[in-house]
């Protein structure tokens, strides 16, 4: 019975010895291994800094070496470090923090840099280029739309793919115009010897919209387009923009659409040219359908028939109607015919026309063609060029 009591008394004593000698040994080892406080990653995006206790039981920090506060923040036992919040530190000037431990009281200091507030960015709307000033030592910049919070990083090297993509993207934004925000990004700090760099001030840059594309129309009677000397068109053969001299003829800027050149459908690209004060406008895409063949001339089985009666010319358009109009033009014997400047008369009926000898004298030439139509989407009428011309000479 006594032996049992003695054993029960000894067990608590052993436990107490273990409980007290354990922490004392650990504390002794920690104190022996303690070193001065050190700094790790400095993240200016999340505004945190990693502080290693280096086996000090307590870490203190100060802004003036007079008042010391115990560090606060999440602690990682794996890395033996605190994640210190630095959002309270002003970014408008350099700020120095001091650290020490309760065991090793050697003071370590780190100076966190102010953000770059002098950065300037200008968009040259004529050249479509960005001019950066006071970007310090940054090798990249970041941009986003004002309504977007995802930053895209771009290399300052203008030959890089990221810079070219940036210019291509901002070029698309010029369709309507938009404001973007640009900054230089943070450089992560790694410690006292490399404190990194804060993101710079955010600069709002207006990407000006290009002026509206010119409103253009084809003059179907004259086969011209109402361009001006302030405009230019794209030549697909040379891949160059060519200045317009004024009003442009289809023969000059879209020759392949004419029947004699193959009658191909052509899409013209026309815009207002760049000036000293503004860049080129948005582009008008003008679709010119291929020109149809000339009307046939001959007997009643042809589209155009003519004969003479009582010294008068009888002219008849056998398939003419309000939806399939024809035109004719009279060129006197001593005149030179020019389709662009000729005077054309419309025909909308198959009824024979009687033309006097004074109006159509002997030796004159009669030119005929199908009349073109202007587009009318409400009436489902498609744009169509006048056909190629045919002709005959009057001989009474």
131-156 b/e (C-beta count within 10 Å ≥ 16 → b): eeeebeebebbbbeeeeeeebeebee
Provide the whole-model pTM: 0.69
Give me the pLDDT at residue 157, please.
Answer: 96
Q: Which residues pair with 390 in a beta bridge?
A: 368
Quote the DSSP letter at residue 377: G
Give the pLDDT confidence score for residue 23 in this predicted structure.
Answer: 38
At 380 the pLDDT is 82
Alpha-carbon distances of 152 from 38, 171, 181, 208, 379, rounded to whole Å: 33, 16, 11, 20, 48
What's the average pLDDT block by block, 10 residues per block, for the chain (396 residues)? 36 36 41 93 98 97 97 96 97 97 98 97 93 95 94 97 97 93 98 97 95 93 94 95 96 95 96 92 95 95 95 96 96 93 95 96 97 86 93 96
SS3 state of residue 257: helix
Task: Return the SS3 of 238.
Answer: coil
Give the CA distances from residue 335 to residues 46, 311, 331, 338, 346, in Å, rounded to whole numbers and listed in that order. Answer: 85, 22, 6, 9, 21
SS3 category, 154 = strand
- List phi, psi (to 5°) of 248: -105, 140
DSSP letter, residue 97: E
Contact assessment for residue 196 and residue 202, using Cβ atoms and an 8 Å cutoff = no
Q: What is the pLDDT of residues 196-255, one digit of tens each?
A: 999 999 999 999 999 999 999 999 989 999 999 999 999 999 999 999 999 999 999 999
Predicted pLDDT at 30: 56
Residue 333: φ, ψ to 5°: -55, -35
15 Cβ contact list (under 8 Å, min separation 6): none
């Amino acid at each position: 019975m006594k032996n049992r009591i003695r054993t029960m008394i000894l067990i608590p004593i052993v436990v107490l010895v273990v409980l007290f000698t354990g922490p004392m040994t650990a504390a002794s080892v920690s104190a022996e291994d303690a070193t001065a406080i050190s700094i790790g990653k400095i993240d200016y995006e999340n505004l945190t800094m990693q502080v290693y206790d280096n086996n000090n039981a307590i870490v203190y920090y100060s802004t003036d070496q007079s008042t010391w506060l115990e560090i606060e923040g999440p602690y990682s036992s794996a890395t033996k470090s605190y994640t210190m919040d630095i959002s309270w530190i002003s970014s408008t000037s350099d700020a120095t923090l001091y650290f020490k431990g309760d065991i090793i009281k050697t003071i370590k200091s780190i100076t966190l840099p102010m953000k770059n507030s002098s950065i300037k960015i200008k968009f040259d709307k004529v050249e479509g280029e960005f001019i950066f000033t006071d970007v310090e030592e940054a090798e990249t910049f970041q941009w986003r739309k004002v309504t977007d919070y995802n930053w895209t990083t771009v290399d300052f090297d203008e030959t890089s793919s990221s810079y070219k993509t940036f210019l291509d993207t901002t070029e698309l934004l010029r369709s309507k115009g938009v404001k973007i925000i640009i900054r230089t990004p943070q450089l992560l700090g790694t410690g006292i010897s490399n404190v990194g760099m804060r993101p710079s001030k955010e600069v709002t840059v207006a990407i000006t919209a290009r002026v509206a594309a010119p409103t253009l129309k084809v003059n179907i009677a004259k086969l011209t387009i109402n361009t001006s000397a302030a405009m230019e068109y794209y030549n697909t053969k040379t891949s160059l923009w060519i200045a317009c001299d004024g009003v442009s003829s289809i023969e000059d800027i879209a020759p392949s659409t004419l029947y004699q050149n193959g009658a191909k459908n052509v899409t013209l690209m026309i815009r207002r040219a760049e000036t000293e004060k503004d860049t080129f406008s948005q582009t008008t895409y003008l679709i010119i359908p291929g020109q149809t063949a000339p009307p046939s001339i001959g007997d009643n089985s042809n589209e155009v028939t003519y004969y003479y009666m009582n010294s008068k010319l009888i002219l008849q358009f056998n398939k003419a109607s309000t939806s399939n109009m024809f035109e004719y033009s009279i060129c006197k014997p001593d005149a030179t015919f020019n389709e662009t400047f000729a005077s054309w008369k419309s025909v909308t009926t198959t009824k024979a026309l009687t033309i006097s000898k004074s109006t159509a004298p002997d030796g004159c030439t009669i030119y005929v063609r199908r009349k073109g139509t202007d587009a009318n989407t409400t009436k489902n009428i498609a744009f169509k060029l006048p056909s190629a011309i045919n002709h005959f000479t009057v001989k009474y």
